[in-house]
Amino acid sequence: MLKVAKFGGTSLANAEQMKKVTGIVTSDTDRKVIVVSAPGKRSGEDTKVTDLLIELGEAALSKKDTETALQHVVSRYREIAEELGLGEEITNTIEDDLRSRLAFDTSHSAQFMDQLKASGEDNNAKLFARYLQSMGYDAEYVNPEEAGLFVSDTPGNAQVLPESYENLYQLRNRRGILVFPGFFGYSKEGRLVTFPRGGSDITGSILAAGIKADLYENFTDVDSVFAANPTVVSDPVAIKRMTYREMRELSYAGFGVFHDEALIPAFQSNIPVCVKNTNNPESNGTMIINEREYALNPVIGIAAKKGFSTIYVRKYLMNREIGFGRRLLEIIEDEGISYEHMPSGIDDTSVILEEDQLTPEKEENILRRVRDELQVDDAYIEKDHAMIMLVGEGMHETVGIAARATKAMSDQGINIDMINQGSSEVSLSFGIHEDDVEVAIRGLYEEFFSSKEVLQ
């Protein structure tokens, strides 16, 4: 069996955590490719290295003194290196690397920030590989460019290029443990480019697909994926097995385990993913697979995402006007805005979109054009909405899910602004006000999970 194992920032936040990761990696010779994130928070009040790097980059772009911010980053690595018994050489290597990145051209701010942010993962991979070597293990740091991980030249939003998979397959021929930095690849022109949020998860998924791994293990700081947010619901049910589609729907709706795009390469190659806990590696975790047998409970998880706005448009006999929806969406497209949902009635329609895409100027432009070009009876924008989602492959075979959900929220005194079921029938989403989110989650959890069924 061949495994790719990815370790998140909390798993590598300090020397103690790195020792745990070393024990996990070396306990199983099948774990050949190790993907690392930048050091995360050591405690609740701590700052992630990535955030320190952003501060450093912003100081450089503002032409401010960068030395203090630079030393904050270097000191994090120095502390880890010293506690691992490594010499000054690795810390000096990391500091030299950071100084060379600061010397990059700042006229292209997005490219410059990509360089700096990616150093968190890159230097942590170098440090971890050095520690493995110091412990007598056959290990090496692998540079993504040298390995052939090529991506689109879109700073902060890289997409893997198809030829990368064939290139990465050659890693199977190398000896020992391969330590690979997450979060970034290289354009065909040789520029470093980062993935979007959750980029190290994306790297791990790409590598698993590239080397045709038998399993992709994603180590984090929880024992499994839970049926609801444990900060909202006390002691929620742990999900033992779920499908890629379920995970993607839940990730989109606010589950923090994965970015919603992270698993696509593994999914396309039919590689199972196991979410495990670095601090409790003996736990079975959650297996994410292509297909699963249906559990007793048709709903496998509940998630919520805040920060939505709704554009309401009303016009008498709208349903008879050919091209009305297309023209409305073109107005929104012209402002560079994507939409999430578009529920419609006979005389009205709503376009739901992420609130952070809107500015006062864009709002004014959209409403003006909607009124002038579409000759509507009314148009306005409402903010502070949230989407709450029920997810489960078994829902499409079960009668009454929507009725149970709406009753559960009605019992809590929650007004529902929108109901939308995906065409795949894997998810059912509700639009509500942001202030009602936690009450809604608890009400829905009580309705669908009160008997504490064990999810398979």
- Bind-site residues for ATP: 6-9, 220-221
Residue linked to tokens 């970034």? 184
Kindly state the helix (H) or strand (E) to which residue 72 belongs, with its residue range: helix 67-83
165, two tokens: 């998979």
Helix (H, G, I), strand (E, B) or coil at 89: helix
Residues 6+ apart with CB under 8 A from 119: 53, 97, 98, 101
Instruction: Compute how many other C-beta atoms are within 10 angstroms of the C-beta atom of residue 62.
Output: 10
Q: Can you name the residues that pair with 420 across neighbouring β-strands? A: 429
> Is-contact 57 155, C-beta < 8 A?
no
CA distance 452 to 361: 49
- Bind-site residues: 6-9, 50, 121, 220-221
Kindly state the helix (H) or strand (E) to which residue 201 belongs, with its residue range: helix 199-210
- Bind-site residues for substrate: 50, 121
Q: What are the Cα distances from residue 118, in Å, to 86, 123, 187, 218, 346?
A: 23, 9, 14, 20, 50
Output the CA torsion 7→12→13→18 (10° steps). Answer: 150
CA distance 106 to 189: 18
354, two tokens: 């992420």
Q: What are the Cα distances from residue 385, in Å, to 69, 240, 299, 436?
A: 38, 31, 23, 9
Helix (H, G, I), strand (E, B) or coil at 195: coil
CA distance 149 to 168: 7
Output the CA torsion 364→360→435→442 (10° steps). Answer: 90
Residue linked to tokens 């290139």? 167
Q: What are the Cα distances from residue 58, in Å, to 55, 116, 418?
A: 5, 10, 40
> Is-contact 184 118, C-beta < 8 A?
yes
Residue linked to tokens 């196991």? 274
Q: What are the Cα distances from residue 250, in Å, to 242, 307, 428, 451?
A: 11, 16, 11, 22
